[in-house]
Amino acid sequence: MLIYVEKKAENYETTKRILSKFSDTQILEIDHYKNIFDKKIGNQKLTPAIIIAKDEHPNLLSVPNNYWYPGKSFFFRTSLNCVFDCEYCYLKGNFKTQYPVVFVNYEDIRNEITKKITEIRNDGYQWQITLYASNYSDIQWLDFYSWFNENFIPFIEKFDNVLMETRTKSANIDSIISINNWKPFKNTEISFSLNPEVIISTFEKWTAPLQARIKAINTLANKWYKVGLRFLPLLPINNYEKIYKEFLNNLKSEIDLEKIHSIFIASLIYNQWDFKTMQKKNPNSQLWNYVKLNENWLIKLPDEIFQKFSNLFKKELSEKKIYYDFI
């Protein structure tokens, strides 16, 4: 294991905890994480590594229109990159290396969140504010050395009508249930990305198997934590309507949907820059046959295919409200 540490991140508590957790490792001091993270390494075998850094300009980014929950919503980041190797993941187009980055100046990030929420409330907005924490990495998998949950879940609890979503393909929930001695949180939704096992095994390398995710879902849902199901990206593989129908029927038999907080479905979707980069990295992927350019200059599933998925989910999960990503 190799750990790169920015000079300005050396004295943070999380840095010290990470270094103590990986005591038998090589540590290299660096001036800026981008000197490593933005380096184009190519196809050679990578030495396992972590980059510890300070986010000097933490900010919240407004989400696109029609993205997930309605109302004012923002992305924020405490880490970059994902250890999983999902063939379709847009992070492959954004980032040059596989090394995860952990930004350890949590207090600065929390202060930025507080500032944004205060500004919105002072402007008279009283409806739900949604914060998405997992669009740059898989928060739950990283938590065993980032301690995101203990640093942000209790913090988010102090706000009214604020929801933080973390999204994962991991079954790592120990740090969630240990925070508050099995007492669920009102302001955090733990969401699990789900797909049929054939898609997981084909396109989602190193992620938790479907049954492990289902077990984690039930463990949390049975204790009334807010649990979300995220069916994304929907992939029209051969015989997909039959495969997804059987998949949804199996889920209904294993998960009590009455205990599920929300359900979302979303297309396979890219902007043009990410799409071109990913095609270069994996020119023979069958995924590129599933998408096409639409009138908004996005590359995504054809509308007629997404509509078939929509109809299927509405029919099979008719007892639950389904949210859509209409980007």
CA distance 195 to 211: 11
- The per-residue pLDDT for 46 is 65
The token duo for 254 is: 């294993």
Contacts of 137 (CB under 8 A, 6+ apart): 77, 79, 80, 81, 82, 91, 100
The token duo for 108 is: 């600065």
pLDDT tens sequence across 249-294: 999 999 999 999 999 999 999 989 889 989 988 999 999 999 999 8
CA distance 323 to 197: 23
For residue 110, the one-letter residue type is R
Q: Which residues pair with 28 in a beta bridge?
A: 4
CA distance 193 to 229: 6
Q: What is the pTM of this model?
A: 0.94
- The per-residue pLDDT for 275 is 92
pLDDT tens sequence across 310-327: 999 999 999 999 998 765
CATH number at residue 223: 3.80.30.30
Among candidate residues 106, 103, 84, 82, the one with its CA nearest the CA of residue 94: 82
Element (H, E) at 35: helix 34-37
The token duo for 151 is: 């640093």
Domain count within the chain: 1
**pLDDT tens sequence for the chain (327 residues):** 899 999 999 999 999 999 999 878 899 999 999 999 987 655 445 678 999 999 999 999 999 888 889 999 999 999 999 989 999 998 877 888 889 999 999 999 999 999 999 999 999 999 999 999 999 999 999 999 999 999 999 999 999 999 999 999 999 999 999 998 889 999 999 999 999 999 999 999 999 999 999 999 999 999 999 999 999 999 999 999 999 999 999 999 999 999 999 999 999 999 898 899 899 889 999 999 999 998 788 899 999 999 999 999 999 999 999 998 765
Contact yes or no for 131/74 (Cβ under 8 A): yes
Average pLDDT, the chain: 93
CA distance 91 to 274: 8
Compute CA 117 distance to the chain's CA centroid, rounded to the nearest angstrom. Answer: 22
Among candidate residues 107, 262, 294, 257, the one with its CA nearest the CA of residue 189: 262
- The per-residue pLDDT for 39 is 75
- The per-residue pLDDT for 90 is 86
Contact yes or no for 234/309 (Cβ under 8 A): yes
Instruction: Identify the domain containing residue 103 by its residue range.
Output: 2-324
The token duo for 2 is: 């190799």
DSSP string, 44-108: SPPPPEEEEE--SS---EEPPTT-SSSSEEEE--SEE--SSEETT-THHHH-SS---EEE--HHH
CA-based angle 307:311:312, to the nearest 5? 115
Contact yes or no for 218/254 (Cβ under 8 A): yes
